[in-house]
Structure 1
Amino acid sequence: MCDTLSLAVRDTFGALKAELSRRTLRARFRSCAEAILATVLAICVSRYLGLTETWWAVICAFSLTGLALKVALDMGVQQIAGTFGGTIIGLMLSPVASSSAVIFVLSMAGLSAAGLYLATKRSMGYMWILSTALAIFVVTTAHANPNVELHGVASSLWLNASIGTLVYLGVALAGSAAALLCRRYEPGAPESGPVMAHALTGGELGRVPHAMIGAIALSALAYLAWRYPLDGFPQAMTTALVVLMVPVDAQGIWSPYRVVQRMCHRLLGCGLGCVVVLAVLPLTAGSLTYSLIAVCVLVWLACYVRFGHSDVSYLGTQFGAVVILTFVHDSVWLSDSVTVAYHRLVGIVAGNVALALVLLLVTVGSTLRFGRRAQ
């Protein structure tokens, strides 16, 4: 486990260093500009319509950045469907799950196991994992804030998912059309990132153990969320689930290295995001204009890393998520409050710690089992 962690950290910083070049900056300038335009438009449209949960519109637009139109359209449809399905499941399950601690824990474990198994076995994996994550988010949010009006939250999430998706598709389509008119579009091979060696050490797991690890981690977090209904625990629950959503091959084999790598990226990205946000907040001074400028600059930086090699791209995704959730809140346009970022970081740390402990136990158990077989 320590060797895998060391390899993941080394590969991450190696890939980040390799991304810093003028050539890469020029190649990604247009994509990063489209990402900024899409996120700002998502904020404006959501607020113009008077919706709450504005952050979800921006997250949905941000999650599609850098994708080709065809891929973005497919992911956008899954994004909208996953938002709708997940919130519906969460609404139906919330009254039942809140009846007792045992039912709450079993509900979270069952949701996570089913979601992970479906996401890795079926097509449209993004929809399945998003549905599961939002269902868990709704249930845990209802428990942490009993007075929240869940139907209003759900409807706002549906509309904002549509807004974020459609805004990005519109911006990407306009960008492609403008490039064609200017005769700058060259349909060549996509940019290749730095080559990193992945000496995958340790064993590999199939789909069922993969789902079971998620269920065990979510069970432990669910019990803590029941006993200590803090605002950060909904994020902790979704963290343990989303980190496990890593690609499997055609035979359903899943590498623990990729999970450890995503844990590192999530912690490093969110930690760096919080440090940068804390440094930028005094400069915004509560100004809407300065806050909007900060969002544009920081989202551009996040997308620059996000569009890079797989050994560093998820770090950029998490950095951007912290920026968005810090400045774009539920019922206000832009805010300079860092409370949301604190809650997110606390939840992410809790989720990663729980998942790391479960992975460690599984690794030790697998080692002992294979050792006995060898004897």
Structure 2
Amino acid sequence: MDDPPRDTHPPTPIGTLAQIVRDAFTALGRELAAWKPSTERAGFATQAMLSVALAVALAYALHLSNTWWAAISGFAVMQTSFAASAQRGVHRILGTVLGGLLGAIVGPLLGDLPWVFVPVMGVISGVSVYQALGSEAGYAWVLGAATALMVTFEAHLLGSASATASFAVLRVAEVVVGTLACVLVSGAFHMGERYWRGSAPAAAAPATPPTPPPSPAAVHAARKLLAWQSAMSIAILAALTYILKLPGFAQAMVTAIALLILPASSLAGHTRRPVVERMVQRFAGCLLAGLVSVALLPVLGDHALACMFALSLGVWCGCHVQTGKEGASYVGRQFTIAFIMVFVQDHHWSSDPVPALMRLSGILTGIVVLAVVMLAMSRLPLARQSGSAL
């Protein structure tokens, strides 16, 4: 008997998206069901928790304007080793300083010229994403772009070079405070581990077979495509926010850039699916963080100790999921970032959910605009050249 004919039709974009959504929530469910703390996972989560708490305390003590930026820096810089955390901290500070300087110079010149302002924002983003995808200092490029775009955009609202420079300095101060908090906590844990373990060498990591390097032509095409997608998304976001005064531009802008910074292994093949997976996982993490946080805010009110405890617990749980092995790592990371955004207000603890919802709406706006741009560019020769079809 002949075998029945097989369905050779490729999956539709809607079907593929539904599969990605199912995979993300299934992975998160597996991670929560297999909640198994280990020494390594608990250690990383504890370091991140203390780093964020220290960053918040220092930012409040110094009366910084955007405490939550310091808190996010305290989390984002933290790595599993002190050397990696220190290197990432240097890249974050370097990128922020250079980006702030660029924004303080360019922003006041373009604030009243939207027909120049919008394309320049796109160029800054596109060039930075292209360089970040091919540089060992990619994190510095990403932070440089984020800071330059943020300062440049604020310049048209502030209306003067001095006010723009002050905003840039405060942005740098917030990042430096959060980064230093992270490095201090990571360094203290590193010294503590060395003291308790003595001088015995650490166990060597198991050797992994080398992977063949990707094709330079494919990588170059992918970098160009992702850079163009970033440039178009940021230009659209800048124009919409300039004209319609949409809230949450900073979060939308960071989202449109961060989602496109793929690992090197993803640049040799289809780039659209990895980006869509990151979109879904970012949305899932932010949605969960928003639901939990908005539910807790009215209960905790402005009680500093209760808010700090809830913040620390949320960071610990998010980091625990991030370091899991069930495929929900990016969901855990995005949950932590969104949880910090919601819980840490600008100047003091508050139960007002409006600022948090504005920031979350910015993240959603960034995802939607990037998705539209990717769909619009999917038929272009550059997209076909990079093999980006789902």
Task: Provide the TM-score with structure 1 as the length reference.
Answer: 0.86
Gapped regions of structure 1 (runs ≥ 5)? 192-202, 371-375
Residue 347 (structure 1) aligned with residue 352 (structure 2): no
Q: 1:308 aligns with which of 308, 311, 324?
A: 324
Q: Deviations over 1:91-110 (max 9, x none)?
A: 11212222222112111111
Residue 13 (structure 1) aligned with residue 32 (structure 2): no
Gapped regions of structure 2 (runs ≥ 5)? 1-12, 207-217, 386-390
Tell me if the contact between 2:319 and 2:332 (Cα under 8 Å) persists in the aligned partners: yes
Residue 167 (structure 1) aligned with residue 175 (structure 2): no
Residue 179 (structure 1) aligned with residue 181 (structure 2): no
Alignment of 1:1-375 (within 5 A): 1-20=13-32, 21-24=34-37, 27-144=40-157, 149-183=163-197, 187-188=202-203, 205-249=221-265, 255-309=271-325, 311-330=327-346, 332-365=347-380
Give identity over the alignment, percent.
31
Runs of 4+ with >6 A deviation: 367-370
Q: Over aligned residues, Cα RMSD in angstroms?
A: 2.9
Matched residue of 2:378: which SS? helix
**CA apart distance, 1:111:** 0.9
Matched residue of 1:337: which SS? coil
Task: Provide the TM-score with structure 2 as the length reference.
Answer: 0.83
Q: Which moved more, 1:277-286 or 1:146-155?
A: 146-155
Task: Give the Cα separation in 1 of the matches to 2:333 and 2:45.
Answer: 13
Matched residue of 1:335: which SS? coil
How many residues of Structure 1 are paired with residues of Structure 2 in the alignment? 358
Task: Give the Cα separation in 1 of the matches to 2:181 and 2:20.
Answer: 35
**CA apart distance, 1:144:** 5.0
Tell me if the contact between 1:120 and 1:252 (Cα under 8 Å) persists in the aligned partners: no
Q: Deviations over 1:6-64 (max 9, x none)?
A: 34323322332332324345542222111111111111222223333222221111002
**CA apart distance, 1:180:** 3.8
Task: Give the Cα separation in 2 of the matches to 1:206 and 1:323.
Answer: 32
Letter in 2 for 1:76: G
Task: Give the Cα separation in 2 of the matches to 1:246 and 1:218.
Answer: 18
Point out the structure with max Rg over C-alpha: 2
Task: Give the Cα separation in 2 of the matches to 1:257 and 1:101.
Answer: 34
